[in-house]
């Protein structure tokens, strides 16, 4: 065991892809580069508040190094940079975005291979545009706890190592309604094989810079896709097929656990199929496929729960377009979209087999699942509790599921019992309960749980954050001592509260 500063640091991204000639400096349009060298901004009064012991173990480090984690001087071997990328935001090309408040310190060895360590909220970069490069405590807690929760749920994700409060106040307008207020600043450190996004490739193609695009593709394949090559169309197709499949896997997991990302812009799509950039995300409580947690998305609901598989496909299409200039015969690229939609179809079917306790999904199950989807929407029904109770049901009677309903006297009993009987026949009265319980988590990071933890933390008490971090390490286990406190529906106060049902990108 050592500490962060004494690890051996690498910077393959900086060494192998073109960079900006200017160091740091004002917000600007950068040309012909994948990154800009920039130093984090030190925090005036930093305090380490949350720490992932597991992530630390994976990096073989001991707790500490507050200076580095709060934006202080980089230690030897680190070559910090902000990444340049573009992206489609809400379906529209937004040109250069880039790491406006994230700074990658470098790469280190972990027990799952070489990973990048990045600070988020550590100050201005050339990509900060008109913003401040900072992050607030509220959104940093949301990212720290949710990324760890997702990991333990088995959902591919970036991870978090630390959360530091900076001792600085940051001005935010949570609902973009003119009500600005000071909030506590914070910095998290996060970990990923790389932070390369779909938008990292798009930015070069958008301005016709095929040479930089080629260098980035070569770097990405060489370092992050062992077994892949980049010399011809067939090799690039095989690489893109893997990205399409891992993206499908990630989104299927979101659908399984009821996660709504909220901002599936192409700059928020990891090339590794990892959930990245936790902003105005939310968790389905009442099963409403049309729900979006993001207030900016309320009018069109582009990123609502039910749209996620389709939107990820749209994003894959944008990635394919961005790699097209490297192809001799770019028309071949359309087959990768078929790969994506085939993969997501198969994954969704096996997800339903798991949720409903079948050995395998059969064609005839489509109708049963369709009926279930409409039934779940008849009255307010809690997704997590419903599927968990279904995993334990002894007889096809909705009576044993009634805790999942928000208004017990509204339960459409007859319709439910008819469906339950069909399902019971389908599984021969013996659903695969073990499979169901490993598919249907008992505890997820509900919107109001985050809010409770944040309210305490803003007063300096991080014990609820710690409690949730522990709880969510074993989301499929019964944890009976936690049952009555956390295996519970959304409380009435959370129904229309900012931070629970309403979230914005302001973070």
DSSP secondary structure string for all residues of 68-127:
HHTT----TT---EEE--EEEETTEEEEE---SSEEEEEEEEEBTEEEEEEEESB---TT
Applying CB under 6 A, does 37 fall inside the site for ligand AMP?
A: no
Which runs of consecutive H residues, i.e. helices, occur in 177-302? 198-206, 210-224, 233-257
The interface with ligand AMP within residues 120-149 (CB under 6 A) comprises 127-128, 131-134
Q: What is the DSSP letter of 491?
A: P
Q: Work out how close the CB of 195 gets to ligand AMP at its nearest, in angstroms, rounded to a whole number.
A: 11
- Minimum CB separation from ligand AMP for residue 300, in Å? 16
Nearer to ligand AMP, 156 or 262 (CB): 262
Q: Nearer Cβ to ligand AMP, position 103 or 236?
A: 103
Question: Could you tell me which stretch among 94-102, 237-245, 331-339, 462-470 binds ligand AMP (CB under 6 A)?
Answer: 94-102
CB contact burial 39-71 (16+ within 10 A = b; e otherwise): bbbebeebeebbbbeebbebbebeeebebbbbb
List 56, 263, 269, 312, residue binding ligand AMP (CB under 6 A): 263
- Measured CA to CA, the distance from residue 186 to residue 44 in angstroms comes to 11
| Shortest Å, Cβ 199 to ligand AMP | 9
User: Minimal distance in Å, beta carbon 22 to ligand AMP?
Assistant: 18
Burial (Cβ within 10 Å: 0-12, 13-18, ≥19) of residue 234: exposed
Q: Does 112 bind ligand AMP (CB under 6 A)?
A: no
Min dist. Cβ of residue 469 to Mg ion (A): 23
Stretch of residues binding ligand AMP (CB under 6 A), selected from 96-104, 244-252, 345-353, 399-407:
96-104
268 near ligand AMP, rule: CB under 6 A: yes
Answer yes or no whether residue 61 interacts with ligand AMP by CB under 6 A: no
Cβ count within 10 A of residue 282: 25
220 binding partner (options Mg ion, ligand AMP, none; Cβ < 5 to 8 Å by kind): none
- Please tell me the distance from the alpha carbon of residue 426 to that of residue 356, in angstroms, as a whole number: 10
Residue 462: φ, ψ to 5°? -95, 10
Sites for Mg ion among residues 261-290 (CB under 5 A): 268, 277
Q: Is the separation of the CB atoms in 99 and 125 below 8 Å?
A: yes
Cα–Cα distance, 274 to 282 (Å, whole number): 17
Identify which of residues 122 and 205 has a Cβ nearer to ligand AMP in the complex: 122
Please, which residue, 279 or 441, has the CB nearer to ligand AMP? 279
Position 169 contacts ligand AMP (CB under 6 A): no
Query: Residue 110 binds which entry of Mg ion, ligand AMP, none, with Cβ cut-offs from 5 to 8 Å by kind?
Result: none
Is residue 257 part of the contact set for ligand AMP (CB under 6 A)? no
Structure-token match 């894959």, residue found: 316
Cα gap 441→150, rounded to integer Å: 11
Q: Is 338 exposed, middle or buried (0-12, 13-18, 19+ CB in 10 A)?
A: exposed
The site partner of 98 among ligand AMP, Mg ion, none (C-beta below 5 to 8 Å per kind) is ligand AMP
Choose between 143 and 285: whose C-beta lies nearer to Mg ion: 143
Task: Tell the smallest beta-carbon distance from residue 132 to ligand AMP (Å).
Answer: 5
Which burial class, exposed, middle or buried, applies to 469 when counting CB atoms under 10 A from its CB (0-12, 13-18, 19+)? buried
Q: What does 265 bind: ligand AMP, Mg ion, none (CB cut-off 5 to 8 Å by kind)?
A: ligand AMP
Least distance in Å: CB of 197 to Mg ion?
8
> Which helix or strand (DSSP H or E) is residue 492 part of?
none
Binder to ligand AMP among 50, 55, 68, 97 (CB under 6 A)?
97
Residue nearest to ligand AMP according to CB distances in the complex: 100
| Residue closer to ligand AMP (CB basis): 88 or 388 | 88
What string of DSSP letters covers 256-280?
A: HHTEE-S---GGG-BTTS-B---SS
Give the H or E element holding residue 189.
Answer: strand 181-192
Q: Which residues have a catalytic role annotated?
A: 267
Using rule CB under 5 A, residue 147 touches Mg ion: no
Q: How far is the CB of 101 from ligand AMP (least distance, A)?
A: 4
Q: Pick from Mg ion, ligand AMP, none: which does 99 bind, CB < 5 to 8 A by kind?
A: ligand AMP
Phi-psi region of 191 (alpha: psi -120 to 50; beta: other; left: phi over 0): beta
Q: Establish if 279 lies at the interface with ligand AMP (CB under 6 A).
A: yes
CB of 183 to ligand AMP, least distance (A): 11
First to last CA, the chain: 34
Q: Does 139 bind Mg ion (CB under 5 A)?
A: no
Q: Using an 8 Å Cβ cutoff, are 311 and 250 in contact?
A: no
Give residues in contact with Mg ion (CB under 5 A). 268, 277
Give residues in contact with ligand AMP (CB under 6 A). 97-101, 127-128, 131-134, 263, 265, 268, 277, 279, 505
């Amino acid at each position: 065991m050592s500490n962060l500063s004494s690890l051996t640091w690498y910077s393959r991204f900086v060494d192998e892809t073109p960079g900006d000639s200017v160091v740091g400096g004002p917000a600007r349009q950068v040309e012909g580069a994948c990154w800009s060298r920039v130093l984090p901004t030190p925090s005036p009064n930093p305090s380490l508040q949350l720490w992932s012991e597991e992530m630390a173990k994976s990096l073989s480090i001991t707790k500490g190094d507050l200076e580095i984690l709060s934006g202080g001087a980089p230690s030897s071997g680190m070559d910090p940079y902000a990444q340049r990328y573009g992206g489609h935001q809400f379906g529209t090309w937004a040109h250069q975005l880039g790491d406006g408040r994230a700074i990658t310190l470098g790469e280190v060895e972990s027990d799952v291979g070489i990973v990048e360590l990045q600070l988020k909220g550590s100050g201005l970069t050339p990509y900060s545009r008109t913003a401040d490069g900072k992050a607030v405590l509220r959104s940093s807690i949301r990212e720290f706890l949710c990324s760890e929760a997702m990991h333990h749920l088995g959902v591919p994700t970036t991870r978090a190592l630390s959360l530091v409060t900076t001792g600085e106040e940051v001005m935010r307008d949570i609902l973009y309604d003119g009500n600005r207020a000071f909030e506590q600043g914070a910095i998290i450190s996060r970990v990923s094989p790389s932070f390369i996004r779909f938008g990292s490739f798009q930015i070069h193609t958008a301005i016709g810079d095929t040479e930089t695009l080629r260098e980035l593709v070569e770097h990405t394949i060489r370092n992050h896709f062992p077994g892949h090559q980049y010399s011809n169309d067939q090799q690039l197709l095989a690489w893109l097929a893997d990205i399409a499949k891992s993206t499908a896997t990630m989104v299927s997991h979101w659908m399984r656990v009821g996660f709504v990302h909220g901002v599936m812009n192409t700059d928020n799509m990891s090339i590794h199929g990892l959930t990245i950039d936790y902003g105005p995300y939310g968790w389905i409580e009442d099963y409403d496929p049309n729900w979006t947690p993001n207030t900016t998305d309320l009018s069109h609901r582009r990123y609502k729960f039910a749209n996620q598989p389709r939107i990820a496909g749209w994003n894959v299409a944008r990635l394919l377009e961005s790699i097209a200039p490297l192809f001799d015969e770019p028309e071949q690229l359309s087959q990768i979209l078929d790969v994506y939609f085939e993969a997501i179809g198969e994954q969704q079917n096996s997800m339903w087999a798991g949720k409903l306790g079948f050995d395998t999904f059969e064609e005839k199950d489509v109708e049963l699942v369709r009926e279930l989807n409409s039934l779940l929407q008849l009255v307010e029904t809690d997704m997590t509790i419903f599927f968990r109770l279904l995993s334990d049901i002894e007889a096809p009677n909705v009576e044993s599921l009634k805790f999942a309903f928000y208004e017990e006297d509204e339960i459409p009993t007859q319709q439910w019992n008819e469906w339950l009987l069909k399902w019971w026949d389908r599984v021969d009265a013996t659903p695969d309960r073990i499979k169901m319980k490993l598919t249907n988590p008992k505890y997820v990071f509900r919107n109001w749980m985050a809010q409770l933890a944040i309210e305490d933390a803003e007063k300096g008490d991080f014990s609820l954050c710690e409690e949730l971090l522990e709880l969510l390490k074993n989301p499929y286990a019964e944890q009976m001592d936690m049952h009555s406190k956390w295996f519970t529906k959304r409380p009435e106060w959370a129904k229309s509260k900012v931070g629970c049902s309403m979230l914005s990108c302001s973070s």
